[in-house]
Chains A and B, each alone.
Chain A
């Protein structure tokens, strides 16, 4: 069995809502973390990221001026002087699948939809600590490997080598919506 020594981890929490920051701080301290730095906007978080060099970033998405998505994109700059590899957990009230895809494509490591739970947060932290994924760099993407499923039975398009694609046709939700019941 493994346990995480939270007291060796440094966290950066970014959320504009003071109540959610309090919840996060309480959960992380209960897990055993000592070093939890907090920011209420993305710009300050980026400064703190460079200054404190956290091991794990937990950020909200919707914030005024400079949001969590932009924060992730700024951290995931392969040529930056800072650490572009730190795990980023996006904790957000956005719960649509489309948002998960957008966050993933910004280089977010884990996505956790609110409402927050101690178990959900712990599992995301355990995952980034115990199972880090390789990073992929392309012309348009730098971040954790977006392919989590290592099955050899994949039959979709092989986008990485630019070969002949095979697309699986599915009816769109729009078509479904317009079909009379």
Chain B
């Protein structure tokens, strides 16, 4: 590992804060090279990622299976703190992973589901079809991906579900300014 010398810290004191500087502890890992010798680590990593892509469909099947199981537990026993968290984590993982695995519409649908779970004032009062439709859509997008004509359908399905979910959340949170502000704030992630 790169060496770090805490003894070389410099501390400047101000009225209500300190500024702490030190020589760059990771400077030793930076190396000047001639342009002709500069390889492309990003291209190398993308190639390695492409080598994993054969496993992505199976990984997505695992993730959607986990989501469906979390939903089934809620249908059986209702929302509890644990079951809500498991449903959120399963949806949140798909939101984060699915685009990397080649399923951007599944990621967008999972994001919409996450917003419902996070911002609905009372999950028990959310129309059950709204949650079920999101989960069914994610499963369908993953299962049907191999068909050539499904990409635009998946995108449209995801877009419409997000519209319905946003309309519900805006209405349900009309008297909860913090949530409404969060719902209406733009995402910093690239759109589908």
Contacts and interface: CB of A to CB of B under 8 A. Distances in A.
A174 B99 CA distance: 31
Nearest to B19: A134
A153 interface: no
A167 interface: no
Contacts of A177: 170, 180, 184
A131 to B, nearest CB: 9
Interface of B: 1-2, 4, 6, 14-22, 24-26, 28-35, 38-39, 41-42, 44-49, 51-52, 59, 62-63, 85, 88-89, 92-93, 95-101, 104, 107, 111, 114, 170, 177, 180-182, 184-190
Main secondary structure of the interface of A (DSSP, over half): mixed
A114 B189 contact: yes
Nearest to B28: A8
A3 B18 CA distance: 32
A113 interface: yes
Nearest to B52: A26
Contact of B33 (A2, A20, A26, A130): A2
B188 A97 contact: yes
B1 A162 contact: no
Interface string A144-179: 010000000000000011100000000011101100
Contact of A96 (B17, B170, B187): B187
Contacts of A100: 188
A1 B32 CA distance: 6
B185 A134 contact: no
Interface string A80-123: 00010101000011111110100000000000011111110110
Given A1-B35, A30-B48, A55-B26, A173 B96 contact: no
A102 B172 CA distance: 25
